[in-house]
Amino acid sequence: MDRKKLLFDLLDQFKLKAEIKEKFNLFVEEIYLYNQKVNLTGITNYYQFLDKNIYDSLLILKLNIIQEQTTILDVGTGGGFPGLLLAIIYEKINFILIDSIKKKTNWLIYIVEKLALKNVTIINDRIENLSDYEEKIDLLLARAVSKLPLLLEISTFLLKKDAYSIFYKGKNYLEESKKINQNFLEKRGLRLEHIYKDKLLDNSERYFLLFKRINLNYKKEMINYQRIKKII
Ligand SMILES: C[S@@+](CC[C@H](N)C(=O)[O-])C[C@H]1O[C@@H](n2cnc3c(N)ncnc32)[C@H](O)[C@@H]1O
């Protein structure tokens, strides 16, 4: 199997420049090697890895939402999905990649240096602790992190007014969304703007939930885990 060809065929759907595709190839080969020492991703089948991690992360490009943002934050980025992949493509945008697990941020430090990326800040912490970035983020992303109510509760304080959060969700998003009524959103100054639907190569469904922060009334100190735990 020609791994590079498989990867490049898949990337061709996103019309990426040759040098970007080479960086993706380096990323994929490096994560494969690294994953043998440190468990970063459970998926070891190459084709599945391309589909579930690379292709899925890049589906957001089709939404044409990433354009003029200055700062994009990826919550619980893990191995760098989707944040690191997007940082390779958008080298003029600052990406903040945060994860609470040290072995994951160690990997990110390693690969960012290998790829010589200058637009990435890696933070080993919990999102709830990011006071320095309060109201500084233009676009917040999260793939496979917490359930929706918790995600909204702990991350909204980071967004600027009129900025968006986009959450990658599976088909169970409906179940999670039921816990979020209009009152929940209004209280946190949020509006659900849009739900985009797409498919992975294996036909599984991908939903992108797009929330807009319409006012700055809900502050970091108002985060209430106990109340949220009762909802989820
Ligand atoms: C299932 S993994 C998903 C990783 C990556 N986004 C992906 O799609 O492959 C969830 C990650 O979120 C991180 N995480 C969960 N809650 C977090 C929080 N409150 N702050 C920072 N990281 C968090 C975990 O450490 C874990 O690496």
Which CATH number does the domain housing residue 130 bear? Answer: 3.40.50.150
Give me the pLDDT at residue 159, please: 98
Say how many domains are in the chain. Answer: 1
pLDDT bin (cut points 50, 70, 90) of residue 43 is: confident
Model pLDDT, residue 225: 77
d(CA 56, CA 82): 8
- Specify if 122 maps to a domain: yes
The finding on whether 100 has its CB within 6 A of some atom of ligand 1 is yes
Residue nearest atom 4 in ligand 1 by C-alpha distance: 78
Expressed as residue numbers, the domain containing 74 is: 68-231
| pLDDT above 90: residue 174 | no
Task: Determine, yes or no, domain membership for 112.
Answer: yes
- For the chain, the average pLDDT equals 94
Nearest CA to ligand 1 atom 23: 76
Flag whether 113 is in a domain. Answer: yes
CB contact set of 113 (below 8 Å; sequence gap of 6+)? none
- 18 occurs within a structural domain: no
Ligand 1 geometric centre to CA of 132 (Å): 20
Residues flagged as binding site for S-adenosyl-L-methionine: 76, 81, 127-128, 143
Residue 208 maps to a domain: yes
| 6 assigned to some structural domain | no
Residue at 23 is within a domain: no
β-pairing, 120-124 vs 94-99, is parallel
pLDDT tens string 181-194: 999 999 999 999 99
Look at residue 156 in the predicted model and tell me its pLDDT.
Answer: 96
Residue 177 scores a pLDDT above 90: no
For the chain, first and last CA: distance in Å? 44
Is the shortest distance between the CB of 35 and ligand 1 below 6 Å?
no
Statement: residue 25 has pLDDT above 90: yes
- Residues 45-90 have pLDDT tens digits of 889 999 999 999 999 999 999 988 899 999 999 999 999 999 999 9
Residue 85 domain flag = yes
Q: What is the predicted pLDDT for the residue at 15? A: 93
- pLDDT band at 39, cuts 50/70/90? confident
